[in-house]
């Protein structure tokens, strides 16, 4: 059966070792290895309940989600970028459940949004306390 993964993105273990052994030119770092998505198991935790129905979010929101949110926020502003972030993190069903809830209160929605943004960006980013390395 043919693989759908492009050949250029696949490397054998031996090729990865050879690549890792090569110095990065005259730079002071080695290439960073990021696990393939299929190697990551997503653990989910409850965020809210509507009646007895539980709705969850990933325990660790992928950094790529934060990057997507920041890029979108830079284009349209944080307020308009929040809905796509919620949909991405919660999933369409949970987002629709919130959207259609007649019992959802402002404070509850604010808390849900705050938790998701904080989990996605990390506490330092959200609070504006991120330090830059220079």
pLDDT in tens, 65-104: 999 999 999 999 999 999 999 999 999 999 999 999 999 9
Quote the mean pLDDT of the chain.
Answer: 82
3-state class of 91 per DSSP?
coil
Give the C-alpha separation, 64 to 66, whole Å: 5
pLDDT tier at 119, thresholds 50, 70, 90:
very high
**Cβ atoms of 43 and 37 closer than 8 Å:** no
Q: pLDDT higher for 25 or 125?
A: 25
What number of CA atoms fall less than 13 Å from residue 134's CA on the CB side? 3
pLDDT tier at 17, thresholds 50, 70, 90:
low
Opening angle at CA 57, ends 42 and 88, nearest 5: 90
Longest C-alpha distance within the chain, in Å?
A: 61
pLDDT at 34: 87
Q: Which whole number is the average pLDDT over 25-42?
A: 84
pLDDT tier at 16, thresholds 50, 70, 90:
low
The gap from C-alpha 129 to its chain's centroid, in whole angstroms, comes to 20
pTM score:
0.66
Q: DSSP class of residue 120?
A: H
Q: Which whole number is the average pLDDT over 110-115?
A: 97
């Amino acid at each position: 059966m043919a693989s759908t993964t492009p050949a250029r993105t696949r490397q054998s273990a031996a090729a990865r070792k050879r690549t890792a052994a090569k110095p990065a030119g005259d730079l002071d770092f080695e290439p960073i290895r990021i696990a393939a998505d299929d190697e990551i198991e997503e653990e989910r935790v409850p965020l809210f309940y509507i009646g007895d129905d539980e709705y969850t979010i990933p325990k660790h929101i992928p950094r790529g989600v934060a990057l997507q949110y920041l890029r979108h926020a830079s284009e349209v502003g944080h307020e308009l970028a929040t809905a796509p972030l919620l949909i991405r993190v919660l999933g369409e069903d949970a987002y629709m459940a919130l959207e259609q809830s007649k019992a959802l209160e402002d404070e509850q929605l604010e808390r849900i949004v705050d938790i998701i943004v904080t989990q996605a960006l990390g506490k330092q980013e959200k609070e504006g306390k991120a330090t830059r390395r220079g």
